[in-house]
Structure 1
Amino acid sequence: MNPESFYKFLPLVFCFLLSSCRFSPNSNPTSSPPLVFNSLNLRSQKQSGVMDWSLKSPKARYQHGIRLIKAIDPSGIIYQDDKPYISIKAKLATIINDGEILLLEGEVRLKQLTNNKAVILGKSMKWTPSNSLIVIEHRPTLHIPYE
């Protein structure tokens, strides 16, 4: 191929190269990096103003775009009539939609703080505060202390 014919095809080659390259923007241009907390203390109240639940964790990440919190070694309290009713503890918590659903995983422990102080142990728990519903999966065990 002589140099003149090469220069005739140069614009065509350039267009081909441009069309084969794609600009791939970030899948979610408004997403931001997660916020990392060395200490987390969440408190939720019902619309009436009484305490609903609280949760603490020594380390957590919050992804604002999807409203998701991942917390390590969480512990917390579920309130009834504005008084502590059940303590909760696990290895990991996932809090979805800023508290609509809480998933606890790994050595989940619920302890009743009133009456007979029963303890329920399990591997995972799904809690929906708005429905006052707790589901413990994977063969939970119930322990009631003798007095």
Structure 2
Amino acid sequence: MENIDNVQFEQKIIKITEGDNAQQMRIKLKVYVKIKTHTPKLSLTDYLGTIEFPLEEGKQFPNIYWKTEQMLNNWERPVKIPNMTYHEASTLYMFQGGYTKEDLSKRRKNLLKVFHPDQKGEEECAKRINMAYNILRPYAK
């Protein structure tokens, strides 16, 4: 989606144990995905899973990318990131400065009176109005 700035993977070591011999260790990592959006309050971090692998002295750190990619493919939580920026949302609601929660609710109600499908408006317009409302709500005073 165009509102996503970047996607990062973060790994945290949760356990290091000795392996089968003195020159081997087993490492257990927790893997998280961080999705950053244009609207910081809508960015998210979510737990993907755990990876465990052996690490031997004098050998290169194993490539765990394929396991991380597999976890991401099996990620069941849907990513609900709006395809709209804060600027686009404030333009839709015609806000130029600060606004209160009451101002936001009144504008939403007035826009939906005109553009709601029950009022012979388009469903896509109503979805955009609601999406903009969800983006602007955390910033209301």
TM bracket (short chain): under 0.3
Question: TM-score, with normalisation over the residues of structure 1?
Answer: 0.22
Question: TM-score, with normalisation over the residues of structure 2?
Answer: 0.23
Which structure: greater strand fraction? 1
Q: Relative contact order: is structure 1 or structure 2 higher (C-alpha 8 Å, sep ≥ 6)?
A: 2
